[in-house]
């Protein structure tokens, strides 16, 4: 077994598991208080990713777009609760469940109308390139070539995709495109400009070497050689996702366990009627619960976009939403720490089974590897086994109904 590949898969598993955990806490918090499985929660995750694309695309720095998206999706969660769920507080649970499915479908179609049905890439955080002239005439005509490229790029800025800044850097030209530009569009504009420049300089044997300049989040933070085919590389964006997940989980745990709002949430989870008699505004606490859970889902959406760099679409919330719900059940529905643990466990199972078990089982059964999509089956199979042995989940507690 390639140890380096195994270590890389573990890194991927922990990253995906952290994202699942952020989504799962929203499910478990809402269920813990109003006993509702909010099937629209996956679409909040999707809206968080699209909001991040929108904010970064208009020039908002990523580190501001993340909390801004969390706030906007928190407001969306409050609005959904007020409009769709609060009128059904005393209705049978099936009514609220069907409403949640309806809200999910509504948000999917709304996203499709707003952003089209095709998937989108997550915008580059730093779309910039370094262009250096090469070829036989680079020494004698390189400066003229770079000056002409800079002029033509500046002319492009008013009519089509053009740079926001071009600066000479030694023997090269640093070209920075507007924040939110995709790498493909920026590279295409750069190549068209280079081609136009070379057409104006006939008879010269000039070419150019273009190097993409990555945002620091895309640069390696750690590289370890374990003797495999390639070293294990952990990028800063993975470190950022891990750190963000840990910080957000710690803050949520602190809010629930150490604040008056958290104490009110726990009281409502135990008995809403008694909590109301004690002076707690139950509807307000439920709205805050939706806000916190939606903010976590929005953070997961943006972190997923940062991690994958693509795959942002109107149906992106379905599979992660189902997996996150399974994670909440696996950890113990209604238990925040259980949701965190369940998300990490299912993330690890999905990635490891996709990388190893599907190949091994497929070769054993039919002489050919199985599709990586079967990894979902292994994740849900683990859920079934745990529920058979421990119906309340890994960290869930048994409850008794009083007469």
Instruction: Please give the average per-residue pLDDT across 338-343, as a whole number.
Output: 91
pLDDT band for position 403 (cuts 50, 70, 90)? very low
Query: What integer pLDDT is reported at residue 79 of this predicted model?
Result: 96
Share of the chain above pLDDT 70, in %: 95
Query: What integer pLDDT is reported at residue 160 of this predicted model?
Result: 59
Instruction: Please give the average per-residue pLDDT across 42-49, as a whole number.
Output: 95
Phi/psi at 91 (5° precision): -80, 165
Are 25 and 293 spatial neighbours (Cβ–Cβ below 8 Å)? yes
- What is the rounded distance in angstroms from the CA atom of residue 94 to the CA atom of residue 82? 18
Instruction: Please give the average per-residue pLDDT across 87-102, as a whole number.
Output: 90
User: Comparing C-alpha atoms, which of 351, 355, 327, 359 is closest to residue 340?
Assistant: 327
- What is the rounded distance in angstroms from the CA atom of residue 237 to the CA atom of residue 216? 8
* Mean of per-residue pLDDT scores for the chain: 87
Query: What integer pLDDT is reported at residue 402 of this predicted model?
Result: 46
Q: Are strands 220-224 and 172-176 parallel, antiparallel or unpaired?
A: unpaired
pLDDT band for position 161 (cuts 50, 70, 90)? low
pLDDT band for position 157 (cuts 50, 70, 90)? low
Lowest mean pLDDT among 7-11, 129-133, 206-210: 206-210
- What is the rounded distance in angstroms from the CA atom of residue 153 to the CA atom of residue 157? 7
pLDDT band for position 164 (cuts 50, 70, 90)? confident
Lowest mean pLDDT among 160-174, 263-277, 327-341: 160-174
- Residue 214: CB partners within 8 Å, gap ≥ 6? 126
Give the residue, 194 or 367, on which the prediction is more confident. Answer: 194
What are the beta bridge partners of residue 166?
175
Give the residue, 166 or 1, on which the prediction is more confident. Answer: 166
Is the pLDDT assigned to residue 400 strictly greater than 70?
A: no
pLDDT band for position 355 (cuts 50, 70, 90)? confident
- What is the rounded distance in angstroms from the CA atom of residue 325 to the CA atom of residue 12? 20
- Residue 129: CB partners within 8 Å, gap ≥ 6? 174, 175, 186, 187, 190, 210, 211, 212, 213
3-state secondary structure string, 27-50? Answer: HHHHHHHHCCCCCCHHHHHHHHHH
For 187-244, write each residue's pLDDT tens digit.
Answer: 888 888 888 888 888 777 877 777 888 888 888 888 887 776 677 889 999 999 999 9
Q: How far is CA 287 from the centre of its chain?
A: 24
Taken in order of first residue, the domains within the chain and their CATH numbers are 3-122+235-389 (1.10.3470), 128-213 (3.30.70.270)
Query: Is this structure's pTM higher than 0.85?
Result: yes
- What is the rounded distance in angstroms from the CA atom of residue 7 to the CA atom of residue 224? 10
Are 127 and 176 spatial neighbours (Cβ–Cβ below 8 Å)? yes
Lowest mean pLDDT among 48-62, 149-163, 209-223, 271-285: 149-163
Is the pLDDT assigned to residue 100 strictly greater than 60?
A: yes
């Amino acid at each position: 077994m390639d140890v380096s590949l195994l270590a890389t898969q573990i890194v991927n598993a922990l990253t995906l598991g952290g994202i699942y955990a952020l989504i799962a806490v929203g499910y478990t918090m809402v269920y813990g208080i109003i006993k509702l499985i909010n099937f629209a929660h996956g679409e909040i995750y999707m809206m968080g990713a699209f909001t991040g694309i929108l904010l970064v695309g208009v020039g908002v720095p990523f580190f501001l777009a993340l909390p801004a998206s969390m706030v906007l999706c928190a407001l969306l969660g409050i609005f959904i609760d007020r409009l769709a769920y609060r009128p059904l507080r005393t209705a049978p649970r099936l009514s609220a469940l069907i409403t949640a499915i309806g809200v999910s479908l509504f948000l999917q179609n709304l996203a499709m109308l707003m952003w089209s049905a095709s998937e989108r890439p997550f915008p580059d955080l730093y779309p910039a390139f370094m262009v250096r002239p090469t070829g036989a005439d680079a020494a004698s005509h390189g400066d003229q070539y770079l000056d002409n490229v800079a002029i033509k790029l500046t002319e492009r800025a008013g009519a089509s995709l053009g740079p926001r800044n071009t600066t000479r850097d030694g023997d090269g030209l640093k070209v920075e495109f507007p924040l939110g530009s995709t790498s493909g569009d920026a590279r295409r504009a750069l190549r068209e400009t280079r081609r136009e420049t070379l057409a104006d300089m006939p008879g010269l044997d000039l070419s150019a070497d273009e190097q993409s300049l990555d945002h620091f989040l895309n640069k390696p933070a750690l590289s370890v050689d374990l003797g495999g085919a390639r070293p294990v590389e952990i990028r800063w964006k993975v470190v950022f996702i891990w750190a963000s997940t840990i910080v957000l989980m710690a803050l949520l745990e602190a809010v629930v366990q150490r604040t008056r709002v958290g104490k009110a949430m726990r009281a409502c989870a135990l008995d809403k009627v008694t909590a109301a008699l004690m002076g707690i505004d139950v509807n307000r606490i439920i709205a805050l619960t939706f806000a916190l859970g939606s903010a976590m889902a929005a953070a997961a959406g943006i972190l997923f976009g940062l991690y994958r760099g693509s795959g942002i679409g109107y149906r992106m919330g379905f599979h992660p939403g189902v997996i996150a719900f399974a994670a909440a059940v696996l950890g113990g529905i209604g238990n925040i720490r259980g949701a965190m643990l369940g998300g990490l466990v299912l993330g690890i199972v999905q990635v490891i089974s996709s990388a190893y078990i599907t190949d091994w089982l497929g070769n054993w059964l039919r002489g050919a590897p199985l599709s990586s999509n079967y990894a979902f089956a292994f994740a849900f199979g683990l859920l079934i086994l745990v529920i058979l042995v421990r119906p309340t989940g890994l960290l869930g507690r048994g409850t008794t109904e009083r007469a």
